[in-house]
Amino acid sequence: MAIEVVVGPPLVTINRGDTFVVSEPDGCITAYTDQGIYSRDTRYVSNYEIYADGEHWTLQNSGAIAYYASRTYLTNPKITTEYNQIQENTVSLVLDRAVVDNGIHEDFDIRNYSAQRVRFSLELSLRTDFADIFEVKSKRIVRKGNVTTEWCKDAAELISSYEHGPFRRSMTTRLFRSGSAPSYNNGRISFLVDLSPGASWHTCCQHSFSEAKEPSKDCVHMVRKPDSNVEQALKQWQAITTSITTSNEDIYRLFKQSVEDMAALRLPEIRGQANSFIPAAGVPWFVTVFGRDSLIVSLQNLMVYPDFARDALDILGKLQAVEIDDYRDAQPGKILHEIRFGELAERKLIPHTPYYGTADATALYLITLCQAWKWSGDDQVFLEHRSVAEKCLEWIDRYGDLDGDGFQEYQTRSPQGYENMAWKDSGDSVMYPDGTPVRGPKALCELQGYTYDAWVRMAAAFEYFGERESAARLREKAEKLRQNFEQHFWCEETGYYAYALDGDKKPVRTIASNPGHLLWSGIVSPERAARVVKRLLEPDMWSGWGIRTLSSENPAFNPFSYQNGSVWPHDNGIIAMGFKRYGFAKEAAMIARDISEAASYFAFYRLPELYAGTRREPGAFPVQYLGANVPQAWAAGSVFHLLHAILGLDADAREKTLFVDPVLPPWLPDITLHNLRVGSGNLTLRFWREDGETRYEVLSKEGQYHVEHGRAQEFTDLQNSRQRSPH
């Protein structure tokens, strides 16, 4: 019998909204690491130890039992106290920890399983450094400001405060429902625990932050309490999102975990409305609003929770740049890259207030707007964001094209700006075939595809609203871009599109995954699509666990790097969508199988942000990338894109129609979508293989919606009207 391998970081992470905890399996937080209790880009707890008379407890087992909660089972070592000797493994400590509405709630439960009375001191050692998350990530924490600690005996509260100029943060640790009175000395909160045989002891510990509300004191145990706010919110989320049933266990478990990860990453309500959210990008480093990430996640979630798109459009539209600000790489009409709320941002020591160093989010905003409008069937979705969209179009023309050659380029103007401004945004991710860095400004291939797609979709929208001149102008621009793109980016000697044009407008013939995004955007000529698909599936690109970010033949290739040879699930999901768009259903399903089988090795079927691009071979398993965000939104959402591609979903809620073009592979013989929302309708659809063909039926529906086989007319008309010449 084969031994089951479970891959994942050797830490316990729980999160909810903009608060998260990264700890050791025993519940402790090790000093001088990136572990901690964080909220809104500030680390409130940097070291946390639990002792019994100065001795560390012994870990039995632990793990996250929900995205927001963990449980740790501890037992005692042999302890000699002033009263007697406590034999090892005779006292149990269960630590429950949960991220709640107002901070972190902990329950400590101790039970004496020995035949004698035990008396010892339970000690909690807590240190706060109030470090900015950027400092933690870079491992360059500079001691600054003033930290003070105050113990309030009567209230049983420890108040830790930080002040550095106008920047202030504080954390209050409250002890209540305690089996004995707490005291504070030598930097530790202590309780005298005195238990007869079989007796138990309990305390609640609540850590609340500067802006938090008063702690809840109406329950003893917060973890998985059915009537708690957290559990009620999770149940509500499950009720309004799409679910699946299938005989493929990997797909079922991956989908279910991904839906829960989306719940975990919802940032606090926006627009002042219930069920109004925008997803954070990932834990621990990206728990905030991102432009590119939020938009791609919204597109992934159209078949699961389409409201993400409308909420993302709202908040990103409100943060659209209105002026030129080189420090923040901002120009009027540009959609942000990310926004931060920690000390470095508040003191403007980093440009993330917000920072606009992304070249693709503005076009992705337009794509998301048009897709959200199609899936909702509500003209107001488009009209409410039309002004933002028009400014996006102006930015693409005026600022996205740096030299007026018709292509989109990027180059930072900020002293702290990013070298690379597409989804591969690490400083070393754009290289020549010899592995050396590309000279800028850089016109990455996928930027041209996104822009083409945005113009085509916006042209269809203007046509719908009777603005034919605007529609014709955008279609003309899109066709001109497509023709110029084919002329300048296609490299016959490699049978592939260039990664980019460099600062001298020479094609960068590096083989990377980026041209797969071109298939998704539709800019690729049909005659060349098959060659792109074939090249992506060559052994140097296709690892067996998914398509690598960079060819293994490139001198810069490193399967364990961030973006130079690793596998990114979201990248593969977009590529699969492109494969299906051009009719390569079998190849799209190959990618889906790679990613879903890789997910089966990760703890809880939780896909990380990325994993190593090592070759799949007998006895091998996916390798965790150290430092990957887990959970991570677009990694979780990749399974939605993969199923979207396999089933060929395409909505036009304005016509009350859901189009399907399903091709189930043999390894996925059946799947049923429950609670699939299209506009105001709700559908349950069953797909199955029979005699080598895929069939489907509508099991139930709410609203006057119908299902048709094929693609939306808008897409078909576009394909038929396109000039086919690649030159």
pLDDT on residue 710? 87
* pLDDT tens per residue across span 74-131: 999 999 988 889 999 999 999 999 998 879 999 999 999 999 999 999 999 999 999 9
Average pLDDT over residues 666-693: 96
Is the Cβ–Cβ distance between 107 and 69 less than 8 Å? no
**Res. 213: pLDDT tops 50:** no
* pLDDT tens per residue across span 159-189: 999 999 999 999 999 999 999 999 999 899 9
Average pLDDT over residues 655-683: 96
Is the Cβ–Cβ distance between 572 and 296 less than 8 Å? no
Per-residue confidence band for 268, with pLDDT thresholds at 50, 70 and 90: confident
Per-residue confidence band for 727, with pLDDT thresholds at 50, 70 and 90: very low
Q: Which of 22, 16, 15, 27 is nearest to 61 (CA)?
A: 27
Give the β-pairing of 657-660 and 706-709: parallel
pLDDT on residue 60? 96
Please say whether the dihedral angle defined by the alpha carbons of residues 47, 49, 53 and 55, taken in this order, is positive or negative: negative
pLDDT on residue 509? 98
pLDDT on residue 143? 85
Give the β-pairing of 58-66 and 55-56: unpaired
* pLDDT tens per residue across span 459-518: 999 999 999 999 999 999 999 999 999 999 999 999 999 999 999 999 999 999 999 999
**Res. 725: pLDDT tops 90:** no
Q: Which of 280, 296, 294, 258 is nearest to 521 (CA)?
A: 296
pLDDT on residue 6? 78
Q: Which residues contact 386 (CB under 8 A, 6 or more apart)?
A: none
Q: Which residues contact 41 (CB under 8 A, 6 or more apart)?
A: 132, 133, 134, 287, 288, 340, 341, 342, 345
Our measurement of the distance from residue 350's CA atom to the centroid of its chain's CA atoms, rounded to an integer in Å, reads 23
Query: Which percentage of the chain shows pLDDT scores above 90?
Result: 88
Give the β-pairing of 85-86 and 79-80: antiparallel
Q: What angle do CA 339, 344, 350 make, to 5 degrees?
A: 65
pLDDT on residue 192? 96
Question: What is the rounded end-to-end Cα distance, in angstroms, of the chain?
Answer: 57
Three-state SS string over 84-126 comes to CEECCCCEEEEEEEEEECCEEEEEEEEEECCCCCEEEEEEEEE
Give the β-pairing of 146-152 and 157-164: antiparallel
pLDDT on residue 270? 54
Query: Which percentage of the chain shows pLDDT scores above 70?
Result: 94
Q: How far is CA 253 from CA 236, 243, 260, 643, 674, in A?
A: 20, 11, 11, 13, 15
Q: How far is CA 72 from CA 2, 62, 107, 112, in A?
A: 28, 4, 10, 17
pLDDT on residue 220? 45
pLDDT on residue 600? 96
pLDDT on residue 230? 78
Domains, in order of start, for the chain = 12-232 (2.70.98.40), 651-711 (2.60.420)
Is the Cβ–Cβ distance between 685 and 643 less than 8 Å? no
Longest dimension (CA), the chain: 90
Average pLDDT over residues 316-335: 98
Residues 478-495 as b/e (b if ≥16 CB within 10 A, e otherwise) read bbebbbebbebbbeeeee
pLDDT on residue 713? 53
Per-residue confidence band for 10, with pLDDT thresholds at 50, 70 and 90: confident
* pLDDT tens per residue across span 64-76: 999 999 999 999 9
Our measurement of the distance from residue 109's CA atom to the centroid of its chain's CA atoms, rounded to an integer in Å, reads 34
Q: Give me the count of residues in the chain.
A: 727
Q: Which residues contact 281 (CB under 8 A, 6 or more apart)?
A: 265, 287, 288, 290, 293, 294, 297, 338, 629, 632, 633, 634
The partner residues of 93 in beta bridges, in order of sequence, read: 74, 110
Per-residue confidence band for 530, with pLDDT thresholds at 50, 70 and 90: very high
pLDDT on residue 3? 55
* pLDDT tens per residue across span 369-393: 999 999 999 999 999 999 999 999 9
Q: Which of 628, 567, 605, 624 is nearest to 34 (CA)?
A: 628
Lowest mean pLDDT of 356-370, 537-551, 575-589, 703-717, name the range.
703-717
pLDDT on residue 227? 73
User: Within 10 Å of residue 152's Cβ, how many Cβ atoms?
Assistant: 12
pLDDT on residue 211? 54
The partner residues of 167 in beta bridges, in order of sequence, read: 164
pLDDT on residue 355? 98
Tokens representing residue 136 in the block: 């933690």
Average pLDDT over residues 319-339: 98
Q: Say what the pTM is.
A: 0.94
Mean pLDDT estimate for the chain: 93
**Res. 724: pLDDT tops 60:** no
